[in-house]
Copies of this chain bind each other. A is one copy, B any other.
Amino acid sequence: MALIVHKYGGTSMGSTERIANVAKRVAKWARAGHQMVVVPSAMSGETNRLLGLAKELAPARQDASYLRELDMLASTGEQVSVGLLAIALQAEGVPAVSYAGWQVPIKTSNAYTKARIDSIDDRKVRADLAAGKVVIITGFQGVDAGGNVTTLGRGGSDTSAVAVAAALKADECLIYTDVDGVYTTDPRVVPEARRLQTVSFEEMLEMASLGSKVLQIRSVEFAGKYKVPMRVLSSFTPWDIDINEEAKSGTLITFEEDEQMEQAVVSGIAFNRDEAKISVLGVPDTPGIAFQILGAVADANIEVDVIIQNLSKDGKTDFSFTVHRNDYARAMDLLKEKVLPALGAAEVVGDTRICKVSIVGIGMRSHVGVASKMFRVLAEEGINIQMISTSEIKTSVVIDEKYMELAVRALHRAFGLDQASA
């Protein structure tokens, strides 16, 4: 008997028919003798519907009194889900009880719409589990010290599930999603991509931050911090699939560097084309330049990813960075109108037709020459590298977006990730 946390996304909860299937799946786990906690998202489309109503009433603002009301509103979506799922489980003959975030309580900071979980009281949940009940807890939300409802931001239900699993010291947190695991790269780009049986949480963290949509990055951070074994698996298997088979499906995110993981130097190839490159040319090479440029960008609430400063030449340097494409126009305007005049820089140039490709692998720590192999593979394909950024377990390059598929496929093959080579 184990204590298991299941998390179901909005698609899995998208209709009463699907909720009934979730209930049947959870009931199967409960009948197998496990103590079950379930964290469902709002029914798909519901959060957007609610926030859409708010937008019809007033333009969005950033003050706390407005954001507080958005959280009051948006948090109802998950409350509906937990009530319905409890009813569906009871209809299966399985005792079940639902809790909103404030009832557990899941205590958070008071940063409305993007709160952080501070603590989770496990007493009610443990008492219910001991009484043989399935406990269903709203994802995405909590309550601050003042008793106000808070939400964790988009995708926060993954984080809720992992946090609940950590608080309960659950044996495993199963994230049911619309993919059947974590792949060496996107199978739509590389048909030879393989599903990973296991992936280290650090690799998962890099893949998530590099645009892999499988898991919300905060949930992976949380899992890492509290060493919660976490499995990503498909919610599209039939609910009555054999439980032992289901328990081994998907991808397990682990915290122990076992031998299997040591074998592969590179675990996956991540990529995204959501970014745009901006270069400030002819910047006087004096202390504080980076802050002057990036400080202004940060003040405008624009997130910066890769940052490169070239070697200085004649007291001038070039400074490049990438931002999300949605922020590109705003960042360019800001730099041209405010930063450039203040800096006395020569020019700002930008390029939205770039992509970022990364190799990720915990084995890179102990293997030299991995980055240079990446550069060689790209050179052999005639792909010019525009920017390079490295961390302990990943190497990223920014290239022309037209070469993205070519680069990903070549690297996938070169690092032995193709199915044939497995």
Contact = CB atoms under 8 A, between A and B. Distances in A.
Contacts of A19: 57
Contact of A83 (B73, B86, B97): B73
Interface string A73-108: 101100110111011101100011110101100000
A87 B69 contact: yes
A332 interface: no
B87 A16 contact: no
A180 to B, nearest CB: 27
A68 B82 CA distance: 12
B73 A84 contact: yes
Instruction: Identify the interface centre among A58, A83, A88: most chain B CB within 10 Å of its CB.
Output: A83
B90 A65 contact: yes
Given A84-B73, A86-B69, A87-B66, A16 B50 contact: no
A56 B16 contact: yes
A98 B147 CA distance: 12
A400 to B, nearest CB: 44
A147 B86 CA distance: 17
Contacts of A53: 16, 80, 84
Interface residues of A, number: 41
A88 B95 CA distance: 41
A126 to B, nearest CB: 16
Contacts of A129: none
A57 B20 contact: yes
Contact of A91 (B57, B73, B83): B57
A72 interface: yes
A294 B100 CA distance: 42
Nearest to A52: B16
A304 to B, nearest CB: 31
Nearest to A73: B83
A97 B65 contact: yes
B16 A57 contact: yes
B72 A100 contact: yes
A88 B16 contact: no
Contacts of A58: 87-88, 90-91
Contacts of A100: 72, 149
Contact of A84 (B54, B79, B148): B54
A149 to B, nearest CB: 8
A8 to B, nearest CB: 15
Interface in A28-85: 50, 53-54, 56-59, 61, 65-66, 68-70, 72-73, 75-76, 79-80, 82-84
B72 A83 contact: yes
Contacts of A75: 79
Contacts of A148: 103
A76 B87 contact: no
Contacts of A72: 79, 82-83, 86, 98, 100
Interface string A242-262: 000000000000000000000
A86 B67 CA distance: 11
A98 B19 CA distance: 30
A23 B56 CA distance: 14
Interface in A366-412: none
Closest 7 CB pairs of A and B: A58-B91, A73-B83, A72-B83, A76-B76, A16-B56, A69-B86, A57-B88
17 contacts: A16-B56, A16-B57, A23-B57, A54-B84, A57-B87, A58-B90, A58-B91, A59-B91, A69-B86, A69-B87, A69-B90, A69-B97, A69-B98, A70-B87, A73-B79, A73-B83, A76-B76
Given A54-B84, A69-B87, A72-B83, 12 more contacts: A54-B83, A57-B84, A57-B91, A58-B90, A59-B91, A65-B95, A69-B86, A69-B90, A69-B97, A72-B79, A73-B79, A102-B102
